[in-house]
Amino acid sequence: MVKRVIGAVRFTAAALAALIIAAITSPTAFSEEEGEQPQLSAYAYSLYCVNNGEFVAEQRGSERLPMASTTKIMTALLALEADEKAGGLSVTITPEMYAEGSSMYLAAGEKVKMKDLVGGMLMVSGNDAANAAALTIGGSREEFARLMNARAAELGLKDTHFVTPSGLDADGHFTTARDLARLMASCMENETFAGIESSGSVTVDFIEPEDKSQTYYNENRLLTKYEYCIGGKTGFTDKAGRTLVSCAEKDGVRLVAVTLNDGDDWNDHQALYDYGFDTLSMEKPEKSGEEFSVTVVGGSSGKAMLTAGEPPLVCRGVGESEITTRCELAPFVYAPVEKGQKLGELKYYTGGVYAGKADLTAAESVGADGAATTFTENIASFFRALFVRLKGR
């Protein structure tokens, strides 16, 4: 009997220990310490706040790693920009556009719109679609890679280098979780890109053959698994493992999550977003106590005092991102000035990212100076105002 009791105790202790270990090592478990980052299964990850430019959570966010088909985020952006610049492009499929791996299953001789190729890239990760866009725009994969890297440099992606348009493994083809997050944030500003990303499917009506129509369904499961998800791109190669970039928005806060080499990416992205949205919030800063004025030419008063409107909502980060303002005013205005007339803007920034603006309006009316009515007098008044402005700098 005693042996049975001891055995039961040992079994219970072992089971309890197993549960504790599982809770600690669970890939999406949160630490009991409030505000601590979730524990994920990803080798590298970043959670980026688009509102204030802050990385809210990350692990190995700056390590250069293969990116697999998340490459197509850049390919799609360049394709859409080229399509818009040309006023619409069509692509005739050739055998050299074929590629191994995921595909739209395009056949030689078929003709489709460039925008539809982007749909195939973002829905089903078509490597053939990526090659078709690259060869049409760049003339060769090498030239298109140069365009990709030039665009990456424009976006400040210093740890990213592209070799292929599809993301198939190649020497020198790499990025970081941080760079992918910034790239996705920028791409989501493109309305066409964002519209495709948020769609559950796209239907491609081929130009040739005219009677062919094909529907492609979005492989981003987060669109249905997580209610705040507004876009995402999957990827996988043997070298990169599972890669995923997604974007979500809740109550004005927009986040981008990136996981690299992650066997539990769907759950990990949800855990990152839950952490981010619980941590961040939109709030209204205090009104600036600074006084603003603008020089008035030909007025009964030489300047007009200004009133700043209500500040916009801003997103404070976990590091209390600094809120800064920039006053945008013309060097001078002409009389008369009406009370409440908009004369400028006070722009707000959080962490250097534009957050919104407040109008600067005239606090009181400023009438025209009856004595300054001739053309010559107005010119003289203009130069006096300009001199005062330059002297004050």
The residue from 41, 46, 102, 125 that is catalytic is 125
Active site residue 102: no
> Are 152 and 163 within 8 A, CB to CB?
no
Active site residue 140: no
> Whole-angstrom Cα distance, residue 208 to residue 111?
5
Residue 151 sits at the vertex; the CA angle it makes with 150 and 157, to the nearest 5 degrees, is 95
Active site residue 321: no
The residue from 46, 69, 102, 321 that is catalytic is 69
Give just the sign of the alpha carbon dihedral 272, 274, 275, 279: positive
The residue from 41, 72, 115, 381 that is catalytic is 72
> Whole-angstrom Cα distance, residue 232 to residue 268?
14
The tally of CA atoms less than 13 A away on the side-chain side of residue 204 is 29
Q: What's the one-letter identity of residue 327?
A: C
Q: Is the peptide bond before 209 cis (omega within 30 degrees of 0)?
A: yes
> Are 52 and 255 within 8 A, CB to CB?
no
Q: Helix H segments across the chain?
A: 2-25, 72-86, 114-124, 127-138, 141-154, 177-187, 191-197, 222-225, 265-279, 375-391
> Whole-angstrom Cα distance, residue 67 to residue 167?
7
- By annotation, the residues acting in catalysis are 69, 72, 125
